[in-house]
Amino acid sequence: MFVNGVGVVLCGSAEDYVGMSIAWLTKVEKDHVLISVPKGALGTEKLLEEGRFTLSLLAETQTEIARQFGGSKQKVAVEKDQTFLFSTDWGTPAVGECSGVFLCEVISSSELNDQVLVTAQLSGPVAATELSPLVFRKSDFFA
């Protein structure tokens, strides 16, 4: 069994953003990250179109935030309470009080079955804490 943390990818502006929860991500080399996002998803399309995104690594107390951006709820989160978000230097929102926040610029993407693998260069971190990360447990998100 592999252990994965949970992150939220956000792209767009503070007024019009799309976010999606991801559990398949890894740091590659010193300044790069590889994430897997669903092919055809609204958030994936926006991420590839803009070429940059914010990656918020969630803390163990932020399961509800992960659920807000899970599955088909990517755009619905805009109407929900946004008090947990802050704006980065890029104007892209990020999740506050999490384990870490990074600005990411897309380097490449490749389709693999129903996923898109995105390699990005890290710019940052914007924020980092000593909070324990949220570990993905299927039972926390799927019945």
Q: What are the pLDDT digits (tens) for 84-133?
A: 788 888 889 999 999 999 999 999 999 999 999 999 999 876 777 788 98
Residue spans per domain, the chain: 7-141
Residue 23's beta-bridge partner residues? none
Residue 135: both structure tokens together: 């570990």
Q: Model-level pTM? A: 0.87
So what CATH class is 7-141?
mainly beta
**Where on the phi/psi map is residue 15: left (φ > 0), alpha (ψ -120 to 50), or beta?**
alpha
